[in-house]
Amino acid sequence: MDREEGLREIHSLLKGIMRGKELFVLFFCLGPQRSVFSIPCVQLTDSAYVAHSELLLYRPGYEEFRRLGRKARFFKFVHSAGELEGAVSKNIDKRRIYVDLEDEIVYSVNTQYGGNTIGLKKLAMRLAIKRASDEGWLTEHMFVMGVHGPKGRVTYFLGAFPSLCGKTSTCTIRGETIIGDDIAYIREVGGIARAVNVEKGVFGIIQGINSKDDPIIWKALHSPGEIIFSNVLVTPEGKVHWIGKDGEVPPRGRNHSGEWFPGKKDAEGNEIPPSHKNARFTLDLKLLENVDPRLDDPEGVEVGGIIYGGRDSDTWVPVEEAFDWTHGVITKGASLESEATAAVLGKEGVREFNPMANLDFLSIPLGKYIENHLKFGAKLKKPPKIFSVNYFLKDEDGNFLNDKVDKAVWLKWMELRVHNEVGARKTPTGYIPKYEDLRRLFKEVLGKDYSEEDYVKQFTLRVPNHLAKIERIIAIYREIPDIPELLFKVLEEQRERLQQARAKYGDYIPPMKFEEV
């Protein structure tokens, strides 16, 4: 909306709202302290939940304000839960969240939901995307992790995945190390891409976390440490329970609906689960046993590779490397889609377009955002390799072709590719692994056999599916103004390569047909 009109409204809503309340004034630093990445922040809030969450999630910033003095360009966050009724915001009709990009201020009023009130998270991300665009660096919705290669080598990867596509399970995988699970700042330093985790903690969805699939997070949630649980079920004994937790569902407790028991229904007659689907946990990353020692390195870490992943039942192979930075940005990042799950939309299988898994948070035009990526890569002496992964590929009977643990192998293959230590097969859409390399890695990493039959099923090029995807993506971008022409050129070139391969080999091409490089 018009900025002046918005400011008038928010200031009228905020006038007198703190009367009789306690105000928390908090100083934080986005990114490590004393760093080219640092952005100091100040948060005003009347919510102990917001204050406590941010103390776990962000590095202290008061010393940054002292160090930078009057030249500090800081982000500002003003929040009030407003008038309360039974500890809940009362005036929901006057709930507002305003992001003022010009003065770099976020206003949030009459709301308590974490995404609207923990200002330094996705609200700050919108400010940072705009600042990064103005200054020539990148703010991305990405994890930062260390993948451990031969002879003690650690190669750092960034990864962007839409919700429910394996982002957290990838960056917390056993045997690797985590720097961050959500937001990265990326800068060019001496011709090299370097990245930091903006945060020092995790604000994670807790639904489905169990001891088998998430052993590292599970262990942290069951060890001594400071943790905030929100929207979970609390038993009379003070224990917490959530949907998908190990063990029996407790016979009673309190949750977002008040006193709860199995079979309790809401006003519409729907059964209320023990915890909310968006129930969260908040903790400091140092509670995780696999936290990387370079979490707070003011120089950041050199980025070896960038991974884009989505929920895709029929097109992308489990792991593939782009030909170069431009090809990767366009055919993997800017073309990212994810099939909705029934839990999200009620329309299972519908593909949601989500470039770089960042569409919801963009505070600049999409064309400008893509152009920024292309320009950023052009500045680099050694651009990171760009990969795609797909943990959700299915066969014609609807069975998954990947096991949940296979991602450990894809990570090791990508790490070796960054250092040019394994070859590949060149397909029309990118470089894929050779069978013998995967067979060896499956044995080394997971201790299991990997058959040539599985390899062919997983890495067959599905030409009609790829051509249909290109049609979808081009059609979407044709409707959006100021998209770089290079995007259409790269996608057309990929279409041409696919059509040539189809003329030669047919619609479904086994990986062995493609030459080794």
Separation CA 482–CA 132 (nearest Å): 19
φ, ψ (nearest 5 deg) of residue 184: -125, 140
Say how far apart CA 44 and CA 150 lie, in whole Å: 48
127-144: b or e for each residue (b if 16 or more CB lie within 10 Å)? bbbbbbbeeebbbbbbbb
Chain position carrying tokens 């609906």? 257
Separation between Cα atoms, residue 268 and residue 347, nearest integer Å: 21
Give the separation between CA 387 and CA 420, rounded to whole angstroms: 14
User: Looking at the DSSP assignment, which residues form a beta bridge with residue 147?
Assistant: 155
**C-beta pairs of 90-98 under 8 Å, 24+ apart in sequence:** 94/13, 96/9, 96/10, 96/13, 97/123, 98/6, 98/7, 98/10
Which residues are CB-neighbours of 432 under 8 A, at least 6 positions away? Answer: 317, 319, 320, 321, 424, 425, 459, 511, 514
Question: Cα–Cα distance between 272 and 266 in angstroms, integer?
Answer: 6
Instruction: List the one residue out of 514, 492, 496 whose CA is nearest residue 505.
Output: 514
CB neighbourhood size of 105 (10 A): 18
DSSP conformation letters of 242-307: -TT-SSPPPS-EEETTEEE-TT-B-TTSPBPPSS-TT-EEEEEGGGSTTB-TTTT-TT-EEEEEEE
From the list 29, 41, 165, 171, the catalytic residue is 165
Cα distance between residue 243 and residue 207, in whole Å: 5
Return the SS3 of 179. Answer: strand
Residue 244 Rama label (left phi>0; alpha psi -120 to 50; beta): left
146 pairs with which residues across the strands?
156, 177
The answer to whether 171 is a known catalytic residue is no
Q: 463, 391, 394, 469: which is closest to 427 by C-alpha?
A: 463
The candidate with the shortest Cα–Cα distance to 304, out of 416, 157, 186, 138, is: 157
Residue numbers annotated as active site: 165
